[in-house]
Amino acid sequence: MIKDLVLAKEWLPAAYSHDLTDQPLQVTILEERVVLFRTTNAIKAFKDLCIHRGAALSLGKVVDDCIVCPYHGWKYDDAGACVKIPQQPPGRAIPSKAKAQVYACVEKYGIIWVKMNSEAGDTPLPFYDEHLNSGFKTVCANPHTLQAAAPRVVENFLDVSHLAFVHEGSLGHSDYAEIPDYKVHWKDNRYVSDEIAVYADADGTGNFATIYYTFEILRPTVARLKKVNYETGEIFSMLFAVLPEEERKSTVFALVSRNYSFDAPDQYFRDFQQLIIEQDTSIVESQKPEELPLDLQAELHLNPDRLSIAYRRWLGDLGVTFGSDIGSRLKKAAQ
Ligand code: FES
Ligand code: CO
């Protein structure tokens, strides 16, 4: 049951706001088809299924702030109640069961976030101050889909050791692969790393320097990163939000911010992030087991892996199973 999933209590990134036009949009969240659509004042998220004969509401259209099923024209209002069945004579009551399933939905930082378990209490939305700060310019990277479990994708984002290899020449340099010891702290309901000094290129411009990386694990599938070059005062930040579509299929929404080069074309930063995530994709898709092992005895951890260790521990504490350690848990239970 989707409600039993820990990730169903989370605000998950479903789409960029600018990708939702006046047409309904189908997305997949935790293996459920969801339709997003705009009303005059809000964005709505329903299960993408008409209760009459199961057609996808996303193939229909929005009329008078209602979504109209493409098959027989049933019309659902923004609270999910069916308000019109065209085949019925006027005055005949609409069955009370004629409803669409509604999910909680908010728009923030240019991203539409959906919470699949509406009974879950207050789950915090990830924060990303740079988006609201006029000292930064923020661009949305292209949504990028990987055939990989969301926790593997998030962990790769937190993995500072691979920059010198996977991103050699674009972010890192293999002559400078050493990672200084750092610690990870639990602070205000999230994990925050110390500043990690890396000889790196912050943004692919070819200017290598000592860059100070700070990572924060905000939620089970959302993390952020801040890179500072103290010599120039340049700051490059990123919000990295992963949508678990299926157990082994994830889509990344990344906001990329800078406090410099406001005149540079935004497309440069979009293209750069695209290059980086494409370099990551084949590696992450190759990882076995596909599910992130939450048992800390599995795989081998070194000092630079402290962020991964914190992340795995947190997922374990939360009881996350979707796309993580279902296999090893079942094995343990059977022992
Ligand atoms: Fe939607 Fe019939 S399936 S109206
Ligand atoms: Co990478």
The number of the ligand 1 atom at minimal distance from the alpha carbon of 69 is 1
Which residues have a Cβ under 8 Å from the Cβ of 191 and sit 6 or more positions away?
184, 185, 216, 217, 307, 310, 311, 314
Mutational pocket test of ligand 1: of 50, 76, 82, 84, the residue with most ligand atoms within 8 Å of the beta carbon: 50
User: What residue segments make up the domains of the chain, in order of their start?
Assistant: 7-115, 129-318
Tell me the pairing of strands 32-38 and 43-47.
antiparallel
Nearest Cα neighbor of 250 from 115, 107, 143 is 143
Q: In what order do the strands lie in the sheet with 66-68?
A: 61-63, 66-68, 75-76, 82-84
Task: State if residue 88 touches ligand 1 by the CB under 6 angstroms criterion.
Answer: no
Give the Cα separation of 252 and 111 in Å (integer). 11
- CATH placement of domain 129-318: 3.90.380.10
Contact 315, 292 (CB under 8 A): yes
Residue 54 CA, closest ligand 1 atom number: 3
Closest atom of ligand 1 relative to the 50 alpha carbon:
1
Side-chain half-sphere exposure of 193, counting CA atoms within 13 A = 29
Ligand 1 center from residue 82 Cα (angstroms): 11
Maximal C-alpha separation, the chain: 78
**Whole-number pLDDT of residue 7:** 95
Alpha carbon 58 to its chain centroid, in Å, reads 22
Ligand 1 centroid to 62 CA: how many Å?
15
Strands (E), 141-207: 144-146, 184-187, 190-193, 196-201
* Residue at 125: amino acid letter: L
Regarding an ipTM greater than 0.90, the answer is: yes
Report the separation in Å between the CA atom of 53 and the middle of ligand 1, taken as the mean of its atom positions: 5
Low-confidence spans in the chain with pLDDT less than 50: 327-331, 334-335
The model's pLDDT over 110-159, given as tens digits with 9 standing for 90+, comes to 999 999 998 888 899 999 999 989 999 999 999 999 999 999 999 999 99
Considering every ligand atom, which ligand is closest to the CA of 284? 2
Residue 120 has a pLDDT of 82
Residue 104 Cα, ligand 1 centroid: separation in angstroms? Answer: 23
The confidence score (pLDDT) of residue 118 equals 82
Which is it for strands 12-16 and 184-187: parallel, antiparallel or unpaired? unpaired
Return the ligand 1 atom nearest residue 60 CA. Answer: 1
Q: What's the whole-model pTM score?
A: 0.94
User: In testing the pocket of ligand 1, which one of 68, 71, 82, 97 has its CB within 8 Å of the most ligand atoms?
Assistant: 71
pLDDT of residue 307: 97
Predicted pLDDT at 278: 97
User: Does the C-beta of 84 come closer than 6 Å to ligand 1?
Assistant: no
Closest CA to 141 of 284, 255, 287: 255
pLDDT at 332: 53
Structure confidence at residue 325 (pLDDT): 55
| Ligand 1 pocket member 50 (CB < 6 A) | yes
pLDDT at residue 170, as a whole number? 87
pLDDT of residue 206: 86
Question: How many Å apart are CA 306 and CA 319, to the nearest integer?
Answer: 20
Ligand closest to the CA atom of residue 167: 2
Give residue 56's Cα distance to chain centre: 24
**Helices 150-158 and 266-286: crossing angle, nearest 10°?**
120
Does the 7-115 domain belong in CATH 2.102.10.10?
A: yes
Looking from the CA of residue 73, the nearest atom of ligand 1 is 4
User: Measured from the CB, is residue 318 less than 6 Å from ligand 1?
Assistant: no
Which residues are close to ligand 2, an ion, with C-beta < 5 A? 280
| Cβ of 55 below 6 Å from ligand 1 | yes
Residue 276 in contact with ligand 1 by CB distance below 6 A:
no
Decide: 331 in ligand 1 pocket, CB within 6 A: no
